[in-house]
Amino acid sequence: MVILEAARRNRSRELLIKYAKQELGKPYKLGSVGEDGYFDCSGYIYTLAKRSGIPIPRVSTKVMANWTKVSYPEMSDLPLFAHTKGKIAHVGIWDKPDLEMYHASSSKGIELRNIDTQGGYWRKRFERSVVLPSLEF
């Protein structure tokens, strides 16, 4: 049973990244979940989870900040970022944990971003990683 559960989690993680890639280049719009062709950061995560069969409510990054923190993130865990220390304001989804994430950029739309580029803009704002509730062990 444990092996089957681990296989299901791995498949869910793979689907999340597959769907993340499919949305590359889609534009950003605050409050959007993709139905109108636009996404905001938490709407992007909501839509990826929904397509992957992972039931999560449409929530803000503030709610995501209360999900289980992971010390060693895996592909498809969620990096959380703060513009003001401790005040979560942005979320992405790890492709290569602690290095590359897919996210909804307000200026570039959905993109794959190395968090150390742009002078480490995202690295400096990184707070922690969390796991989607149904992917917890």
Q: Is residue 105 part of a domain?
A: yes
Higher pLDDT, 21 or 12: 21
88 neighbors 82 (Cβ within 8 angstroms): yes
Q: Is 137 a domain residue? A: no
Would you state the structure tokens that stand for residue 10, as one six-digit string? 């791995």
Residue 134 is inside which H or E element, if any?
Answer: none
- Tell me: the pLDDT tens digits for 82-125? 988 778 999 999 999 999 999 999 999 999 999 999 899 999 99
Domain count, the chain: 1
Asked whether residue 74 is domain-assigned, the answer is: yes
Domain range for 101 is 2-132
What mean pLDDT value characterizes the chain?
91
Report the distance separating Cα 99 and Cα 116, nearest Å. Answer: 7
> What is the C-alpha separation between 97 and 94, in angstroms, rounded?
5
Q: What is the pLDDT of residue 135?
A: 79
Which CATH number does the domain housing residue 65 bear?
3.90.1720.10
pLDDT band at 137 (very low <50, low <70, confident <90, very high): low
